[in-house]
Structure 1
Amino acid sequence: MAFAALRFSGTLAHKLAAWRPGTGVSLYWLGQAGFLFDTGRMRFLIDPYLSDSLARKYRDRGFSHERMMPPPIEIADLPPIDFMACTHFHTDHMDGATLAPIAERFPAVRILVPRASLKVVEEKTGLGPGSFIGIDAGETLVLGEGAEVTAVRAAHEELTQDEDGHHLFLGYGFRLGDARIFHSGDTIPFEGQLTEIEALKPDIALFPVNGRSEALRSAGIAGNFTLDEAAGVAAACAIPILLAHHYGMFAFNTIAPEAVDAKAAAMAGKTRLLRAREGIEYRL
């Protein structure tokens, strides 16, 4: 499938307002693990964190959660959104201060979440159960004409299930027309992962690369793929494009952008590594 990374001028709000329907899918990074997918007919948000709720929560305790980058778009400037998806319950992926005002602006939007976290997301947002669609690993949902999503397991840093056997951490494989996009959620490598990803046949993978450490783990902060692990999984699954993200938001849990660029320059083989960046339209 053809792929292009196209720099645009002006703000993301202006770019989205000027977008005209065509063929293919456009992806835009929102910071951390957040992305907007635009098919020209439908728009999806995944793991959007567009507030400052964590900075307020941790202002006087623990690690500082002040944003290193401002939101690339204000909630008031978003175009109509059809679906939002959250990979798990952590606030930088399931943020009530982001989800609730978007749902208020666009009452028809539906929010896809792990079935294990349906009660949690209701508490975080104050929205009723009709706003949410629960999904578990191994399930596929049709979201509209030519659009579907399949959930797979994620290990952040463990494969964790609730008392009913539903997985708390998920990755999502989107089929949007001819484009196949895989967002792994927060995860580390685990047995069976490659088989599950390969079955989705992604054209592009969105993987976290902030890694993990014993110091953070001791503080209750679970980690993710290292940069080398993310690149290795993408290569093993023969994914043409790897878009590295989950960096540059919180100073205590990030990776230097230059490290990603250096890895990209050194990589050989059929997988192309790119660093998620603002001001870029990733076009499939």
Structure 2
Amino acid sequence: MIVRQTDFKGGLSDDLAAPGRPGVAFWWLGQAGFAFRSGALRLMVDPYLSDSLAAKYRGRPLAHERLMPPPIPPEAVRGLVWCLCSHAHSDHMDPGTLPVLAAHNPNCRFVVPRAEVQTALARGVPKARAVPVNAGEHVELGSGQTIEVIASAHEERVTDAAGQHRYLGYVLRLGGIGFYHSGDCVPYPGLAEHLRAARVRVALLPVNGRDAARTQAGIIGNFSFREAADLCREAGIPWLVAHHVGLFAFNTVPEETLRREAAGVEADLRVILPRYNERYETWMEANQ
């Protein structure tokens, strides 16, 4: 598989809206957010495009002031047909982003954990356009493109009283390519085997890690970079897109540390440390 990284001119809204070329393109939105374009399909996962958390935590410990602005205001997004939220934390299910996306994209449907559907509705997802899901289910996106819903362990796999998972990951089958967006997650038994069977080619994984100080402060952790790389190796995934860094000062990893770790991975794993204003275009080679 080929992934081409290209700087683009102008705004993300224009680049995202441009006619789809062969293959699948994706863009980093900051934190765990990504936008995808596959043919006529426009899809986002976990977009945090507001500053709602700064307002929520202002004057409290661990101020959630953004270290980087959103790459696109939510009102500038057009043509979106799917928006996926992995769980209810506000940097993944944002009350400052979701109602704005809904208002400006009347055909957009919102895939959310069934265990958190009431939270999603309270944060601005229109009830008629909500698609509640649980691990083990599939969503048809059209044109043979699909979502497989799997459980995530945000340090632990957590279910509600009905046994429905509060933290989800999504295996996206777009343009014949398997992408895995874990949401917030750490390694758990059986995950690598599941992803290998799903023939995932690109894993988009959080690498901000976890430690005792953050745990004591109530900050639930994610993969370390090494754990993310190990998961890709065990699952036979050739591309790792490392994210969930650079937004909040109390919950990130220095860029130089990530670059050093990325330089030390095995030769058969290619690592992308995504940037704003960069488009990632993917397609399968003829013999694949």
Q: Quick check: TM above 0.5?
A: yes
Q: Which amino acid aligns with 1:219?
A: A
The answer for the alignment partner of 1:27 in structure 2 is 26
Kindly indicate whether the alpha-carbon contact (under 8 Å) linking 1:152 and 1:196 is maintained by their aligned counterparts in 2: no
Measure how far apart 1:14 and its partner are. 3.4
Cα RMSD (Å):
1.2
Measure how far apart 1:268 and its partner are. 1.9
> Aligned to 1:129, which of 111, 124, 127?
127
The answer for the alignment partner of 1:236 in structure 2 is 234
Q: Secondary structure at the match of 1:45?
A: strand
Q: Which amino acid aligns with 1:192?
A: G
Kindly indicate whether the alpha-carbon contact (under 8 Å) linking 1:238 and 1:270 is maintained by their aligned counterparts in 2: no
The answer for the alignment partner of 2:66 in structure 1 is 67
**Unaligned stretches of 5+ residues in structure 1:** none
Residues 61-120 of structure 1 show CA distances to partners (whole Å, capped at 9, x for unaligned) of: 121100000010112221210000000000000001100011011122100011111111
Residues 159-199 of structure 1 show CA distances to partners (whole Å, capped at 9, x for unaligned) of: 10000000000110000121211101101111111122222
**Unaligned stretches of 5+ residues in structure 2:** 283-288
TM-score normalised by L of structure 2: 0.95
Residue 37 in structure 1 maps to residue 41 in structure 2: no
Kindly indicate whether the alpha-carbon contact (under 8 Å) linking 1:88 and 1:168 is maintained by their aligned counterparts in 2: yes
The answer for the alignment partner of 2:281 in structure 1 is 283
CA distance in 1, matches of 2:160, 2:219: 19
Q: Secondary structure at the match of 2:97?
A: helix
Measure how far apart 1:220 and its partner are. 1.6
CA distance in 1, matches of 2:192, 2:56: 36
CA distance in 2, matches of 1:48, 1:16: 14
How many residues align? The count is 282
Kindly indicate whether the alpha-carbon contact (under 8 Å) linking 2:19 and 2:40 is maintained by their aligned counterparts in 1: no
CA distance in 2, matches of 1:246, 1:21: 27
CA distance in 2, matches of 1:199, 1:139: 16
Kindly indicate whether the alpha-carbon contact (under 8 Å) linking 1:151 and 1:173 is maintained by their aligned counterparts in 2: yes
The answer for the alignment partner of 1:110 in structure 2 is 109
Q: Which stretch shows the higher mean deviation, 27-36 or 76-85?
A: 76-85
Residue 139 in structure 1 maps to residue 174 in structure 2: no
Q: Which amino acid aligns with 2:107?
A: A
Q: Secondary structure at the match of 2:172?
A: strand
Q: Which amino acid aligns with 2:12?
A: L
CA distance in 2, matches of 1:263, 1:216: 21
TM-score normalised by L of structure 1: 0.96
Aligned-pair identity (%): 41
